Amino acid sequence: MIRERLQQQKANLIDIGLVAILLPPTFVWATRHHSPAIAAAPVLLQTLPLLVRRRYPLPVLAVVLSASIATQYVVGALPPFALGLALYTVASHTERRVALPAGVVTFALLPLSLIPHASWNGDESVLHVIVFAAAAWILGDNLRTKRAYYRELEERAERLEREREQNVRRAAAEEQARIARELHDVIAHSVSVMVVQAAAAGDVFGKHPERAREALRSIEESGRSALTELRRLLGIVRTREQSSREPQPGLAALAELVEQVRATGLEVELELEGELGELPAGVDLSAYRIVQEALTNTLKHAQASRARVRVSRRTDELELEISDDGANPGVESADGHGLIGMQERTALLGGVLETEPAPDGGFSVRARFPLGGGRLV
């Protein structure tokens, strides 16, 4: 709204400037053979309507053309600049089905304004005026065509942007539902282990108290882990799709994943640092999925010959880095969902995801997950 208002104010200033430029020379021309009192009315009738030419292009053209015809019989021929500007405005601000008939009518009536004074500077003045008016109409018509073309491009760009945003939101919702299903399986497994351990503790409670206490401690740990995953699960959009009953992979299956990628011809270097066997289930699963998605993007889009996967565990953090030497960025196409899934996974677990071109070429994906239950900043 503010932008449109500023454009309108700018257009008004331009019209005021045009009238201010046309008015003095037209008035001087009209007073060459008549008194200023007689010349003032015809000059004003031809120039002042141009102040509202953008808002009322057809009425302004009618007034200016009528004034031009009438003034020929009163004060003689005046320069056709006002008429040309009015004709240009009709051609540039109205549809062609309206502008074309208006132009035809104008050219049909134009000779009436030239008959009483057939020449200003010679016998060819009539032709000069017609050529000038035709040039004004053609210029306005070309400008209208370009405006329509640019407007169509802007509308198409806005439509594509809306579709892209909808695709991103849909992809995020689908990924959230997928993560929810996976975490549902993790929680179900933890609860199942708790039930089995509780039953075992009940069986040995009287005869073997030490084994019962170990089972209870294991139940406590499994319960805490399940509650942590449950809190994360509650923040995800639920769907009615049935979850897969297959066991969810983790970093323990990373070597097998790398071998599968190597079989496609991509040379993959795997580096593992720290103890990776005692990770929270959600972190373990999401870390595997991010490595899997990054390598998939490298195969599909990066045109790479070599990739490197580094997984490093510290006291309170798990870090992943997947890089390649591809000629193109190893990211999915505009309608792909891989990076969206990575972002959803890291955000859900309080982590940080960074994706960027590598300094020496290729593309790099880096993810960090907190292991203390907090969030990274």
Distance separating alpha carbons of residues 362 and 261, to the nearest angstrom = 17
Residue pLDDT, tens place only, 178-219: 776 776 666 666 666 666 666 666 666 666 677 767 767 777
Identify residue 126 by its one-letter amino acid code. V
pLDDT value for 98: 87
Residue pLDDT, tens place only, 43-99: 788 888 888 888 889 898 888 888 887 777 666 666 778 888 888 888 888 888 888
Based on the domain organization, do 209 and 272 belong to the same domain?
no
Alpha-carbon torsion angle 257, 260, 264, 270, nearest 10: 50
Based on the domain organization, do 283 and 313 belong to the same domain?
yes
8 A C-beta contact, residue 220 and residue 272: no
Range of the domain at 341: 251-370
8 A C-beta contact, residue 317 and residue 370: yes
Query: Quick check: 271 pLDDT over 60?
Result: yes
Burial of residue 31 (CB within 10 Å: 0-12, 13-18, 19+) is: middle
Tell whether 220 is covered by a domain.
yes
Distance separating alpha carbons of residues 318 and 356, to the nearest angstrom = 19
Based on the domain organization, do 56 and 13 belong to the same domain?
yes
Token output for 7: 């454009």
Strand order in the sheet with 363-370: 267-273, 306-313, 317-324, 363-370, 352-357
Tell whether 159 is covered by a domain.
no
Based on the domain organization, do 227 and 288 belong to the same domain?
no
**Chain centroid to CA 367:** 26
Distance separating alpha carbons of residues 46 and 70, to the nearest angstrom = 10
Based on the domain organization, do 104 and 199 belong to the same domain?
no
Tell whether 224 is covered by a domain.
yes
pLDDT value for 241: 42
Residue pLDDT, tens place only, 136-157: 888 988 988 898 888 888 888 8
Where residue 219 sits, what CATH number does that domain have? 1.20.5
Q: DSSP states of 211-265 as a string? A: HHHHHHHHHHHHHHHHHHHHHHHHTS---SSPPP-SPPP-GGGHHHHHHHHHTTT
Distance separating alpha carbons of residues 357 and 329, to the nearest angstrom = 7
Alpha-carbon torsion angle 296, 301, 304, 305, nearest 10: 60
CB atoms closer than 10 angstroms to residue 128? 15
Where residue 288 sits, what CATH number does that domain have? 3.30.565.10
DSSP 48: G
Based on the domain organization, do 194 and 284 belong to the same domain?
no
- Structural domain total, the chain: 3
Based on the domain organization, do 299 and 363 belong to the same domain?
yes
Beta strands 306-313 and 267-273 are parallel
